[in-house]
Amino acid sequence: MAIEITDVSKEYFVKGKRIEALKKTTLSIREGEIFGLIGFSGAGKSTLLRLINLLEQPTTGNINVNGTDLGKLAERDLRAKRQKIGMIFQQFNLIETKTVYQNIEFVLKASSYDKKKVPSRIEELLSLVGLSDKMDSYPKNLSGGQKQRVGIARALANEPEVLLCDEATSALDPDTTKTILKLLKKINKEFGITIVLITHEMEVIKEVADRVGVMTAGEIVEMDDVYAVFSHPEHKVTKGFVQDIYDFTIPPHIELNSESEVITIKFLNEHAEANYVNQLYRHFDCDISILNGRIEYIQDMPLGFLMLHIKGRQEEIARLKQFIDDSKGIERAEIYGKID
């Protein structure tokens, strides 16, 4: 494992009041994976991220990064270890009075990087993030996406083993977000760097993460690989995040009764691309209308949802629902639309 977090908690005292920012948490993050933490503001995800490199000291527990117990290191050794844990920030944290080149050079100088190798290392990093032509530019002349690319180059300067991303795309527009996420995936794949990213956007998790932990009230309430969380969310917070992506709501003009129902079908894996509705038309004496539908590709596997309005005799609707329940790789989705 790249990161082992064991019984770690964090408490603050503000004006004599105890605040439990992170409840006791045990978590293993695998070497070379992209692990996402998602939660609303105040869920504890930023606290957990900052505990990984001991920017925050834990109240209890141990943090082990690539075989090293960080809590047992002397301050000097801890500073050296942090150089192998890169960090990307939401607000970029660039030095406005320094050029792009100088921003990266500053990090290398602080780590006593071989002076002879600094120029070539900076050129290599800027080429990686697609900013070779911005070497002499100042942050004020860069777009948000370009600033974040500089932040990524800077975080990679000392060839880290772990990369921590603190809401790295939340200040960016959707198109720029996609390019940054694509760059992070490239870095993960080419260099095998373990990436831990926190976000409040499920779209970010869907695009890049291998596994995800869902946080609320200072604890991880659900954790699994991303496809499993999207296809079978369990905790109400997780269901809410997934629902926000699909945004399936029953149109207000639809009248629901024993002979008029709305059901949503979930298609797993290869079944998501099957022409399933035609089977329903052929086999059942019902009036079937499609209200909404969407197929996502998560970890290169399709996951589909289809919301249907079914009108017909009560017995025929029941038979149709049973047919769906008996179908392989197809389920009725309890968090989309209304089912009994």
Cα distance between residue 56 and residue 58, in whole Å: 6
For residue 249, is it within any domain? no
Judgement on whether residues 222 and 138 belong to the same structural domain of the protein: yes
Residue 339 confidence (pLDDT): 44
Q: 231 and 275 share a domain?
A: no
- Helix (H) / strand (E) containing 131: none
Average pLDDT of the chain to the nearest whole number? 93
In a domain, 170, yes or no: yes
**Helix 100-110 crosses helix 144-155 at what angle (to 10 degrees)?**
20
What does the alpha-carbon distance between residue 183 and residue 205 come to, in Å, rounded to a whole number? 14
pLDDT digits (tens, 9 = 90+) for 54-77: 999 999 999 999 999 999 999 999
CATH number for the domain spanning 172: value is: 3.40.50.300
Residue 275 domain boundaries? 260-332
Question: What pLDDT digit, counting tens, does each position of 27-53 carry?
Answer: 999 999 999 999 999 999 999 999 999
Residue 83 backbone zone (phi > 0: left; psi -120 to 50: alpha; other: beta):
alpha
Same domain, 100 and 205: yes
Instruction: Please count the structural domains in the chain.
Output: 2
Tell me whether residue 284 is in a domain.
Answer: yes
Domain finish residue from 243, 268, 288: 243
Q: What is the DSSP letter of 136?
A: T
> In whole angstroms, how far apart are CA 201 and each of 4, 65, 94, 267?
25, 26, 24, 23
Q: Is residue 248 part of a domain?
A: no
**Does 253 fall in a domain?**
no
Res. 279: pLDDT tops 80: yes
The model carries a pTM of 0.91
**In angstroms, rounded to a whole number, what is the distance separating the alpha carbons of residues 119 and 116?**
7
- Provide the residue type at 174 as one letter: P
